[in-house]
Amino acid sequence: MFSVPDQKTGFCDIHCHLLPGIDDGPGTADVALEMCRQAAADGIGTIVATPHFNDRFQPTREIVADAIRMLNDELAGRGVALDIVPGADVSAVAGLGRIVMDRPWLTIGGQGKYLLLEPPVQVMPAWLNDLVFDLRTGGISVILTHPERNAEVVENPNAVLPMVQSGVLVQITADSLLGTFGPDIQRCAVSLLKMNAVHFIATDAHSAGYRCPRLAEAAEKARKYLGDDAIRLVRDNPFAVVRGETIYVPDPEPLRSWFSRILAGS
């Protein structure tokens, strides 16, 4: 069992491809350590290392644990105040409920309570609801990763609303909010914030260059729309997930068009 950080210090990043040579994240330990240095400098105190688990990458529990142990030992030796805990970025596929039941270490912290679920890129298929139901029946809460980058959700942010209303949690990417992936994805991320349909902002970092680990600027951007409640998305909620605790979930609201707002007098 991993060691949970004793104090809620700094931000907590629940989605980061940090482990060297395991997926499409950093290729070497030096790059991974530079990412850690960047994260600590940005105010991140805890990172959930989430290598891809899909048809291309299927790291074992032992490989992930060894990589995390190496990073934590190096960080301690260098005096970098950063804790790395295990997780995975798991692609939505048929039969995933059974896969996760057999591999509970894929959940955040290996506790079997919260799972990062990566949806398809183009659509939010109907079978995704069945998959979520299977996972929840097994006691696992689903965190849907970066739906603002899904083509269907970009076109219509309300497409994610039924899943949120059913209890699915949502994580958007810091770089989406900051415009790195273009204005359409940025607008979608902002829309989801305004809908109360976002519960986490994470880096989904893959390197020390493009897509590096940064949360502070995104947290400030979110503050423009949520006020001081924005801190929940980068600190309170992610730390609660790492600890296996229940988080506060506001009621989501549908995004209305400018025309419908005029008719409603708002």
Residue 248's pLDDT is what?
A: 87
Domain membership flag for residue 5: no
Can you list the positions of beta strands (E) in the chain? 11-16, 44-49, 52-53, 83-86, 89-91, 114-118, 141-145, 169-173, 200-202
Whether the predicted pLDDT of 261 surpasses 90: no
| Range of the structural domain that residue 114 is part of | 11-247
- According to DSSP, the β-strands at 89-91 and 114-118 are parallel
Mean per-residue pLDDT for 234-260? 87
For position 190, what pLDDT does the model report?
97
Tell whether 2 is covered by a domain.
no
Between CA 126 and CA 163 the distance in angstroms is 11
For the chain, give the mean pLDDT. Answer: 92
Give the model confidence (pLDDT) of 151-175 as tens digits. Answer: 999 999 999 999 999 999 999 999 9
Q: What is the dihedral of CA 108, 110, 115, 118, to 10 degrees?
A: 80
Express as a percent the part of the chain with pLDDT over 70: 93
Amino acid 219 reads: A
3 domain-assigned: no
Q: Is residue 31 part of a domain?
A: yes
Tell whether 29 is covered by a domain.
yes
253 falls within a domain: no
Q: How confident is the model at residue 266 (pLDDT cuts 50, 70, 90)?
A: very low
User: Are 197 and 165 a contacting pair, CB within 8 Å?
Assistant: no
| 12-24 pLDDT tens trace | 999 999 999 999 9
Residue 156's nearest CA partner among 192, 201, 200, 116 is 192
How many whole angstroms separate alpha carbon 142 and alpha carbon 100? 12
How high is the pLDDT of residue 257? 59
Tokens of 115: 């799972």
Identify the CA nearest to 132 among candidates 105, 109, 162, 158. 162
The predicted-structure confidence for 91-124, as pLDDT tens digits, reads as follows: 998 888 888 989 999 999 998 899 999 999 999 9
- CATH number at 101 reads 3.20.20.140
Cα–Cα distance list, 64 to 54, 118, 220 (Å): 15, 19, 32
Inform me whether the pLDDT recorded for 74 exceeds 90: yes
Taking alpha carbons only, the member of 69, 60, 175 closest to residue 106 is: 60
Q: How many CA atoms does the CB half-sphere of 48 hold within 13 Å?
A: 34
Question: How far, in Å, CA of 241 to CA of 141, rounded?
Answer: 10
Q: What percentage of residues in the chain have a pLDDT greater than 90?
A: 86
Look at the chain and report how many structural domains it folds into: 1
Cβ atoms of 204 and 149 within 8 Å: the answer is no
Tokens 């074992």 sit on residue: 60
Q: Is residue 126 part of a domain?
A: yes
Question: Taking 60 as the threshold, does the pLDDT of residue 5 lie above it?
Answer: no
Residue that is written with structure tokens 């039924």 in the block: 162
Token pair 């600190």: residue: 235
Which residue reads 């970098």 in tokens?
80
pLDDT at 47 > cutoff 80: yes
151 within some domain: yes
Chain center to CA of 133: 20
Average pLDDT score over residue span 223-244: 96
Question: pTM of the full predicted structure?
Answer: 0.92
